Amino acid sequence: AAVPGTAVLLVTANVGSLFDDPENLQKNWLREFYQVVHTHKPHFMALHCQEFGGKNYEASMSHVDKFVKELLSSDAMKEYNRARVYLDENYKSQEHFTALGSFYFLHESLKNIYQFDFKAKKYRKVAGKEIYSDTLESTPMLEKEKFPQDYFPECKWSRKGFIRTRWCIADCAFDLVNIHLFHDASNLVAWETSPSVYSGIRHKALGYVLDRIIDQRFEKVSYFVFGDFNFRLDSKSVVETLCTKATMQTVRAADTNEVVKLIFRESDNDRKVMLQLEKKLFDYFNQEVFRDNNGTALLEFDKELSVFKDRLYELDISFPPSYPYSEDARQGEQYMNTRCPAWCDRILMSPSAKELVLRSESEEKVVTYDHIGPNVCMGDHKPVFLAFRIMPGAGKPHAHVHKCCVVQ
Does 272 map to a domain?
A: no
- Write the pLDDT tens digit of every residue in 229-285: 999 999 999 999 999 989 999 999 999 999 999 999 998 888 999 999 999 999 999
The predicted pLDDT at position 400 comes to 43
pLDDT of residue 399: 42
Q: Please calculate the CA angle 366-372-375 and round it to the nearest 5 degrees.
A: 125
Please state, in angstroms and rounded to a whole number, the distance separating the CA atoms of residues 380 and 55.
13
Structural domain contains residue 242: no
Assign residue 339 the CATH number of its domain: 3.60.10.10
Query: Is the Cα dihedral 7, 104, 129, 61 positive or negative?
Result: negative
Residue 275 located in a structural domain:
no
In a domain, 278, yes or no: no
User: What local confidence, expressed as pLDDT, does residue 363 receive?
Assistant: 62
pLDDT score recorded for residue 32: 98
State which residues of the chain have pLDDT below 70. 1-2, 152-157, 360-365, 395-408
Pick from 114, 111, 108, 67: nearest CA to 87: 67
pLDDT of residue 106: 98
* Full domain range(s) for residue 105: 6-232+285-390
In a domain, 365, yes or no: yes
pLDDT value of residue 406: 44
If one counts every other C-beta atom within 10 angstroms of the C-beta of residue 56, the result is 11
Determine, yes or no, domain membership for 237: no
**What was the pLDDT predicted at 30?**
97
The domain total for the chain is 1
Q: For residue 276, tell me if it sits in a domain.
A: no
Task: Write the secondary structure of the chain as one string of H (helix), E (strand) and C (coil).
Answer: CCCCCEEEEEEEEECHHHCCCHHHHHHHHHHHHHHHHHHHCCCEEEEEEECCCCCCHHHHHHHHHHHHHHHHHCHHHCCEEEEEEEECCCCCCCCCCCCCEEEEEEECCCCCEEEEECCCCEEEECCCEEEECCCHHHCCCCEEEECCHHHCCCCCCCCCEEEEEEEEECCEEEEEEEEECCCCCCHHHHHHCCCCHHHHHHHHHHHHHHHHHCCCCCCCCEEEEEEECCCCCCHHHHHHHHCCCEEEEEEECCCCCCEEEEEEEECCHHHCEEEEEECCEEEECCCHHHHHHHHHHHHHHCCHHHHHCCCCECCCCCCCCCECECCCCCCCCCECCCCCCECCEEEEECHHHHHHHHHHHHHCCCCEEEECCCCCCCCCCCCEEEEEEECCCCCHHHHHHHCCCCCC
pLDDT at 391: 86
In this structure, is residue 163 part of a structural domain?
yes
